[in-house]
Chain A
């Protein structure tokens, strides 16, 4: 498969848990706020000198210390983050914001608080359903977070500041959506691994410091030759997956990942945020309606339908459903989704994985066999 490539500028940003752009922004007096879950509203962490970074644990080698506290039966994303936190990798970060989204993230919050207490550590109480009462609840939780941020960092987290942050965030989302839309083409100028690199790099950096490069990249990609020689268009669905290397293995084998329906991927995270109305309520509604994690206990059918729709929209020929080991919500749901996809005649490959890329050969064999089973 002939592939375009992505500038080193973006690749280098994902090599370290805290990258150089974060240091640069902090040197200007800005505050880095770490988060671990898509339900944390990025615009709220982007007001008045704050900037959000979605924490990753690149190159983590084993999690012995985290296992001692969290046990080895917790999801390896949370253990990897705790391990790096215990190695002081995140000590330069100014604050952390969690959501009570799943068993694992809640316990990561507890353990971090106990073992390496951040100066600012906040957990948002997140409803498990959507609807009016839940939106009201979440909006009030976001206001509590806003007050806490304002108190801790002396920043303006009022309605106007937030509305402005939403507007700026939408500019980022528009750019990313434009790049993502290119993946619908027959020969897209961007591969899945490239796009994941962009997502990981931009979500773990102060976005304003890379918007110019992102804009340039969009223009360049628009004029580039597309990927040729791939065997099948694939859609990646399932758990948190922020490692482009994982997708790269699939693409090396001939599958082209054209969209990701994951909390770290393109759908539905890049949907624009409405700019009218009460900004806290808007963020709450957006969060509860648009981010589809199986922790939302009432919306299996919606997730099922949206997945089938995404397959059509991106003309995916097969779905790779990857779940992080020990994640119960995805673990239970993937069995049901597999049935639905098969019923709809869509080939599906179930993969259980750890956060850190391992067993590359095994993964390649599975993908190869999957493509062959699809007649590709």
Chain B
């Protein structure tokens, strides 16, 4: 599906100016890398993923094409800050090449920042690049499969392994992984460790974690991690710096929680990318940075402004939905389309719905304990590793909390953990009278289910189950 298949928003001159402004800002995020000199530029632009990311305006086009007014601005702003956040991470790699730590997606970076290291989330590549070029990951998936990785393994770790096998991963001092979020993700770090020839630390997260015993165990794991990083990298824990990082995270979180409170209103004053995509970068990959706080605050302000103007974010909100499982990376336009075609406001997704305990910055011990809680109860970690109740209870809670009309389950074929829950979940939804749409697709591979097929599935659900009339 292309954007041209959608209805272009009637845009004013101001709307056009918004696009131009944020396009420039997004370009600036990569242009700032030039300060590292031509040799560094040659090195980093040898990475296929960086060339793809920096040369594309797809995300901004997607976020603005069908939207106008303040909601358009919020989307354009969100995208520019998302690109800015990614730019910051790459900037960190360039500035501190001997301090780069590549880490797994569900390990938040606060500890690395506290130690003066430059974290880089390996899976961010498989997440972010397909958002701008849907079939990008396929080359790397094939590389991994040609090395003997089974075709049925989740395509995200497969893409990550392929990137490492192709020598496209930034050089690093160490790898940090864990047993999250699934067996495939966990196992992929053995390949990364062998291929990149760097030491790897693995955090062990208990299965049942809502108890003190599990938290004690995991705090000891975090202490082991810090000691290990001090041994294997030039990073040293500076608890004052750590405190600043955690306080910054807390500030961003306060804003985000306020946004969540506001979007409970009908019609919602904010939806879509300013919620899920911003969280992904600023609360997961690059958490604890002033840019994240600023972004959350500005989105909150725009949310309030939309509310003050007396309307909702969408021109006509007819339905409210949650997207469970990771977002549809190969087809981020899905919700832009659903928003325009059926008036569906996407309010929440699995990766955004963190339990959000604030970090208690009283002492190093309290910080570690709070971070331990954030990690073990993190999105996906608690859903795919823990008991099935974690998965079901969150969804039913969200359904009530945000007054939703339906649940969209992104049924990623490679996610064995969640595929094995769909049968139970279907029955539980029926018992409660909750409309459930299970979208069959693959997270990173368009060859399994194409975006057009995905859209057709959504159309069939909306028109047969929801009896929805298309808005255009």
Contacts and interface: CB of A to CB of B under 8 A. Distances in A.
Given A70-B419, A126-B207, A140-B213, A329 B187 contact: yes
Interface in B417-436: 417, 419-424
A295 B184 CA distance: 10
Contact of B149 (A70, A107, A332): A332
Contacts of B189: 297
A308 to B, nearest CB: 16
Interface stretch (B35-43, B77-85, B150-158): B150-158
Contacts of A94: none
B207 A104 contact: no
A102 B154 CA distance: 15
B191 A103 contact: no
Contacts of A329: 183, 186-187
Given A128-B179, A326-B416, A332 B207 contact: no
A300 B190 CA distance: 7
Contact of A350 (B148, B224, B384, B419): B148
Contacts of A71: 416, 419-420, 422-423
Q: What 3 pairs between A and B have smallest CB-CB spacing?
A: A335-B148, A69-B423, A107-B420
Contacts of B194: 336
Nearest to A297: B202
A332 B185 CA distance: 10
Nearest to A110: B388
Given A123-B207, A128-B179, A328 B420 contact: no
Interface of A: 68-71, 73-74, 100, 102-104, 106-107, 110-111, 114, 123, 125-129, 133-134, 137, 140, 294-295, 297-298, 300, 323, 325-329, 331-336, 338-339, 350, 352
Given A335-B149, A336-B194, A129 B416 contact: no
Contacts, number: 135
Contacts of A297: 177, 179, 186-187, 189-190, 202, 204
Contacts of A327: 183
Contact of A328 (B182, B206, B388, B413): B182
Contact of A332 (B184, B221, B387, B419): B184
B188 interface: yes
11 contacts: A69-B423, A71-B416, A71-B419, A111-B420, A128-B186, A129-B204, A137-B213, A329-B183, A331-B184, A332-B149, A336-B190
B191 A336 contact: yes
A297 B182 CA distance: 12
A28 to B, nearest CB: 35
B206 A125 contact: yes
B5 interface: no
Contacts of B147: 335
Interface residues of B, number: 45
A106 B388 CA distance: 9
Nearest to A331: B150
Among B183, B217, B221, B417, chain A packs the most CB atoms within 10 A around the CB of B183
B174 to A, nearest CB: 14
Interface in B189-214: 189-191, 194, 202, 204, 206-208, 213-214
Nearest to B158: A332
Give the dominant DSSP class at B's interface: helix
A325 B152 contact: yes
A39 B187 CA distance: 19
Contacts of B414: 73
B220 interface: yes
Q: Name which of B150, B206, B422 has the most chain A CB atoms within 10 A of its CB.
A: B150
Nearest to B181: A103
B161 to A, nearest CB: 8
Contacts of A295: 183, 186
A103 B423 CA distance: 16
A333 B149 CA distance: 8
A352 B161 CA distance: 21
Contact of A334 (B148, B179, B387, B420): B148
Nearest to B152: A326
Interface in B382-432: 384-385, 387-388, 413-414, 416-417, 419-424
Contact of A111 (B152, B186, B220, B423): B423
Nearest to A335: B148
A7 B15 CA distance: 84
Contact of A104 (B385, B388, B416): B416
B375 to A, nearest CB: 14
B186 A100 contact: no
Contact of A128 (B152, B204, B208, B421): B204
Contacts of B421: 107, 110
Interface centre among B148, B194, B414 (most CB of A within 10 A): B148
B153 A328 contact: yes
A163 B221 CA distance: 31
Contacts of B204: 127-129, 134, 297
A119 B424 CA distance: 20
Given A328-B183, A331-B150, A332-B190, A298 B202 contact: yes
Interface string B68-106: 000000000000000000000000000000000000000
Nearest to A107: B420
Interface string B370-384: 000000000000001
A277 B153 CA distance: 42
A104 B420 contact: yes
A315 B213 CA distance: 46
Contacts of B177: 297
Contacts of B182: 103, 328
B143 to A, nearest CB: 12
A302 B345 CA distance: 51
B391 to A, nearest CB: 9
